[in-house]
Amino acid sequence: MESDSETQSGEDTTPDDWMELADDSPAASPDDSPALSTDATQKPSEKEDFKLSLITWNVDGLDFENLPERSIGLVKYLNLYNPDVVFLQELIDPYAQFLKKRLVSYLMIEGSEEGYFTGMLLKKSRVTLVESEIVPYRTTKMMRNLLVAQVIVDGQKLCLMTSHFESCKANAKERMNQLHVVKWKFKHAPDDVTVVFGGDTNLRDGEVPKVGLPATVCDVWERLGKQEHCRYTWDTTANNNKKASYPVRFRFDRIYLRPAIKSGAPRLAPDHMALVGLEKLDCGRYTSDHWGIYCTFSAE
């Protein structure tokens, strides 16, 4: 999202009927989704291959129009795709509280307690949280930070990271400073840990080479062949939530992967990517002004 409204908090203008409308939506539990099978309860030794599924999505919580309906739309998408891990950006507190209430099969970690912030949802049946931290961006003017979680999935160590980089074209320098922080975390992760970063980076393609990612890190979209149908995650030619008067298309939302590099540790590789949230809701708007990214990984 490229709006100055990102610097605002939604506490005072959140719709009064949020929870009243939200209560009309069913809670998500392990029994609600047909995608959850007995495989989720099997021991690691009984699984044929290691798999991981992830969604990253800027949910545009600072746009209060139809926000309760759009939050219900998000829950329905998460029930449908049933990812192991969810990275969310631009949450506000009522949105986060609603998700905690409705997605009871997930543990939520929040990147802040005020304003707007990032969050992670970790599927309790598969992902064990070891510890989490919030890494500040010292020079941000938009309340941005890096949310990091050390987790274990089927006995494998993962470092999960999400962030919402500084917005707007004029803030390229700060945005690249924030990418440097992520780069440092990639470089200093233990060799036996798989590191996955996903979020709304607001990056322009020309900014990434100026920072440079470690050789061990791949851009998942690029690794999967730069598929055109997954290129643009902020696209005013297809998404009219912002009612933009001009066409703009950017690949703001990105996923980066650094597989474990220690000998004997499973090496994860991306095997599928798709955009989600492409369907209009009954209210006539999309879940967000961003498309979400659904991505799956498997052991090589």
Choice among 200, 235, 253, 289 that is catalytic? 200
Contact predicate 280/286, CB 8 Å: yes
Find all residues with CB under 8 Å of 96, minimum gap 6, and list them. Answer: 108, 110, 117, 119
Strand 194-200 and strand 156-164: the pairing is: parallel
Helix ranges, the chain (H): 18-22, 67-81, 93-102, 172-187, 208-211, 220-223
Q: Which residues pair with 134 in a beta bridge?
A: 147
Distance CA 255, CA 281 (A): 26
Between 93-102 and 67-81, two packed helices, what is the crossing angle to 10 degrees?
A: 40
Known catalytic residue at 200: yes
Asked whether 275 and 242 are in contact (CB, 8 A), the reply is no
Give me the active site residues, please.
200
